[in-house]
Structure 1
Amino acid sequence: MKRFKIKSMCVITLLILVASPLSAAENPFIGSWKLTSGKYLDGNGKWVQYGDLKLSAIKVISANHFSFTTMKNVGTEAKPESEFWAAGTGRYTYTATEYVEYPQLNSFGVAADKAFAFTYQIAGEQWQSKRIENGELKEQELWLRLD
């Protein structure tokens, strides 16, 4: 009977560990991130720098979901005045080289679960990402880990 209890406890412990969400050590994305720079290709084929738009954003990532809010400074540097720019939330997946967001709710009119695939590199506290569609670079961002 004692052997059965020990085996049962081992199986339960193993199931708990397997079912537990990944920790930040196992998943490099978990945490909060601040956008430090970036650019995107607009509908006219022109590059738009986030700095020129005075954008700031925070992205929060859990084991399976992401959420971000982006604001635009319509004031001055000395007297900032924030205006809503964009927000999105949904699930994500990742591999050793690709991070893919599937926004379920967003303010920019994208159908639920449309994939946004990024190649990425994380070095220390910095996360660089690039989104390429049909062989063309569409977006590039640099994020800094907050926690």
Structure 2
Amino acid sequence: MKKWILLLLICSANTCVASELQGAWKLVSGEYIDQNGKLTSYQSINLQSLKVLSESHFSFTSVKGDSFWAAGSGTYKFADGKYQETLNFNSFGQSKGSQFTFDSKLVGNIWYNSRWEGETRVEYEVWQRVE
């Protein structure tokens, strides 16, 4: 009986953590390392993005100025300060099943993500909940 109660509490905790991100998010700031190795702020290229998360899936669309820039969707996990996306579909040439893992922190309605490759931060995002 005690094992079942513990399992139920663990599952409830995991669902609760994932549900914290459910909703719609707009990108408010960030930066990334571009294909030339240059640190580029999203504001400098007029990048706008909206990400929508259900309990287990995500989808995002980004525009640069008034033109389409990128889109992707798939599944995600959020636990222990890590947010991981697994792509099913995307417009930017990644294989199905590609994963992107971020150090992640949710503070109220602001969500911070940092993605690293080795010692280099290659992407930083600040999202604000809109719904």
TM-score with structure 2 setting the length: 0.85
- Structure-2 residue corresponding to 1:144: 128
Q: Aligned in 2, Cα 1:26/1:112: closer, same or farther, shift over 3 Å?
A: closer
Q: Which amino acid aligns with 1:105?
A: F
Larger radius of gyration: 1
Q: Aligned in 2, Cα 1:105/1:26: closer, same or farther, shift over 3 Å?
A: closer
More strand by share: 2
> Does the 8 Å CA contact 2:102/2:113 hold for their aligned counterparts?
yes
| Ranges in structure 1 where 5+ consecutive residues have no aligned partner | 1-17, 74-81
- Structure-1 residue corresponding to 2:76: 92
- Structure-2 residue corresponding to 1:68: 60
Of 105, 118, 127, the match for 2:89 = 105
Deviations 1:3-52 (A, max 9, x none): xxxxxxxxxxxxxxx7xxx46x7621111000001110112221011101
Of 38, 49, 64, the match for 1:46 = 38
> Matched residues, percent identical?
38
Find the residue that maps to 1:120 and give its secondary structure.
strand
- Is residue 2:125 matched to residue 1:133? no
| Ranges in structure 2 where 5+ consecutive residues have no aligned partner | 1-10
- Is residue 2:28 matched to residue 1:36? yes
Find the residue that maps to 1:109 and give its secondary structure.
coil
Deviations 1:92-138 (A, max 9, x none): 11212100001110000001111100001111110010000122100
Which consecutive aligned stretches of 4+ in structure 1 deviate over 6 angstroms post-superposition?
none
> Does the 8 Å CA contact 2:18/2:79 hold for their aligned counterparts?
no
Distance in structure 2 (CA, Å) of the matches to 1:30 and 1:116: 18
- Structure-1 residue corresponding to 2:48: 56
Q: Which amino acid aligns with 1:136?
A: T
